[in-house]
Amino acid sequence: MLLRTVAYRSWARSCLYRAHTTVASRSEPPASSEEVASAVNDLSKPAHVQAPKRKPFMKSMFLGTVDTELLTFPESLNRDEQARLNRHREELERALQAPAGPDSIRLAGLQGPLAYGGKQFTETEFAYVQELVAGERTVAMGALEHNAIVKLLAQHGTPEAQEQYLAKLCAGETVAAAGLYELSSSRDTMFSTVASLDFTGGRWTLSGTKVFLRTGPADPDLLLVVASTKRMEKLNKEDGTIAAFLVDARAPGVKIAEAPLGTGGLARVTVHLNRVEVPESALVGTENEGGTVLSKFLSAVRVQSSVVRVALLKKVLNGLTEFAIHSKAATGDMMDLELVREQLARMASVIYAAESLIYTTASLMDDYEGQDVEMEAAITKVFTTGSLLSLATLPLQLLGPQALSGERPFQALFDDALKLFIGDESIDSVNLFIALTGLQYAGMHTHETIKKDRNPAMNPSHVLSRLFDKTSIEHPKKFADLQQYFHPSLEPAAHWIEQSVVRLRLATECVLSRHGVEVIERHLELGRLATIATQLYAMVACASRASRSYCIGLRHAAQDVHLANMFCREGSERVRLLALELEKGPYITSDDDYNVIARNLFREKRYYFEHPLTRNF
């Protein structure tokens, strides 16, 4: 009873704070979109205020700690920024309704500096505007990659490169794309593409091959290329650093080839760099900041591309909902069938969680200076992409062949879902990144404990303390009373989130203690750990958003709470099962059996089992 009273008082204080800020703002004249500056791109637009950097949110959960300040769903934009953004969105909506359609919209400079004709949008603002054009997949994907490069150039580019490219990039006269990925890997350097600096001429020479998927009708004019660097006097020595360069696609030595992928108009573009010379001013960041530039670019693209995937899922859900309302089944209306209701409700909960992840992560990028969000951005991509194909095929499960009929939009939506799913990154590689990044962060802080776990004979007292530990994966012990940071109606969700945080910590310790540095080879266990982290972040984002909705009295807020509690309950059970599998290890689960079967497949070079009708006598 005492805890409930404390939780209620904490929630009441947060609601009073929200009410106080709302009432205070109402005493001022409302800042309508007409009262903002005369133009959306007015140079008087102030810079977005950022708070000091905080500890990584999700990485800290691998240690079992929670930054409770970040449990409140963010309100990244103030009233002036919101009004300014609404006005720009209205202009885009009018442009979309024009006969020229999306091609007439200037999306190239949305995140560019004001001084060069850009709008200087934050990630939250850009995601909000991206929702309008997300239906046009090629336009949206091209715009988000282009804007990410423009933003990087504004933040890390040399003054010469900024003067040369920014105005043209913001105006759309020059189109930028990223050449990050390669078909082959190198054992000596991080990337097969190598950049060498000639000190006498002060120029870099790039050699290698990059690939990317075409997102527009024409080849890009400017490429962001990430390459391994080697100094001329150290050609025979490994150099682990990487650097990012801006490369003119029409420069001597650059050859662009195109190969179609499938039959849906998707194409893989291969860029061959044959001793391409670029000036030192083409560096984005310093020679040793390539990793930082790459991380920022990937984080932005992963979050913004998730907006496009969520928009597609909304189209599928809305189409199925409309079909169910107006269709009959053998036993009555289709919308009264329990199977249909369950599938559509699950899809709605996934979309709700994905939206929450997008704006939570975007706010972390906007509101905190230099915040480490690489894991949160990767989780956002994995969550939206992992649900994409299964939910896009839902019309086939519910409607059968008629889902592919000409009058239904589901065939085109499935084609778009397949193209978005392919992307440039494999989901498995991003999952491995999530797990290994979390384990690395946890290992740096718990290495002494892990050493004792791996050497029980030398640390008997530590082993005894472990034996009498009252918390376990099956019965986790609460540690932070997280329910006081949510609305009281979300107490069940807070309870399941807290249990899942403990299970993530215990699973992390278990994996590190069992495998040590060899954990990098245990891909199945890493995949389970990444899934736990992904599910946990989605649960937190859902509950946080629902709590805010109920506190400020948004429409359908009661349904927000209902959905969040449901999502967290199911997510907690999934986390429990995955953590138990990690605790059991590869011999009790089927992990080792999979390895045995796969080794035989490789040895026989085919499916080697005998036909079921074969006799041996």
DSSP for 436-452, please give it.
Answer: HHHHHHHHHHHHHHHHH
Residue 357 confidence (pLDDT) = 98
Q: Mean of the pLDDT values across residues 260-271?
A: 71
Q: Mean of the pLDDT values across residues 288-304?
A: 93
**How many H-runs (helices) and E-runs (strands) does the chain carry?**
19, 10
- Alpha carbons 175 and 158: distance in angstroms, whole number: 19
336-383 pLDDT per residue, tens: 899 999 999 999 999 999 999 999 999 999 999 999 999 999 999 999
Residue 27 confidence (pLDDT) = 34
User: The pTM is what?
Assistant: 0.89
- Alpha carbons 57 and 71: distance in angstroms, whole number: 10
Q: Mean of the pLDDT values across residues 380-406?
A: 87
Say if residue 207's pLDDT is above 60: yes
Lowest mean pLDDT among 94-108, 227-241, 293-307: 227-241
- Alpha carbons 508 and 523: distance in angstroms, whole number: 14
Band (422; pLDDT cuts 50, 70, 90) = confident
Q: Mean of the pLDDT values across residues 400-415?
A: 81
Looking at mean pLDDT, say which of 28-32, 98-102, 368-372, 537-541 comes out highest: 537-541
Q: Taking the CB of residue 356, how many other CB atoms lie within 10 A of it?
A: 27
- Alpha carbons 94 and 47: distance in angstroms, whole number: 27
Residue 187 confidence (pLDDT) = 63
Give, as one character, the DSSP assignment of residue 279.
Answer: E
Residue 6 confidence (pLDDT) = 42
Residue 451 confidence (pLDDT) = 84
Q: Token pair for residue 451? A: 């050493």
Band (333; pLDDT cuts 50, 70, 90) = confident
DSSP labels for 2-33?
HHHHHHHHHHHHHHHHHHHHHHHHHTSPP--T
537-564 pLDDT per residue, tens: 999 999 999 999 999 999 999 999 999 9
Say if residue 423's pLDDT is above 50: yes
Pairing relation of β-strands 176-179 and 222-231?
parallel
CA 479 centroid distance within chain: 28
Band (334; pLDDT cuts 50, 70, 90) = confident
The answer to whether 367 touches 122, Cβ cutoff 8 Å, is no
Q: Mean of the pLDDT values across residues 111-139?
A: 91
Strand, coil or helix: 236 = coil
Say if residue 413's pLDDT is above 50: yes
CA distances from 111 to 103, 143, 171, 571 (A): 18, 10, 12, 35
Which domains does the chain possess?
Answer: 2-171 (1.10.540.10), 176-284 (2.40.110.10), 429-591 (1.20.140.10)
**Mean pLDDT of the chain, nearest integer:** 86
Following CA atoms 528, 299, 482, 78 in sequence, which dihedral angle do they give, to the nearest 10 degrees? -160
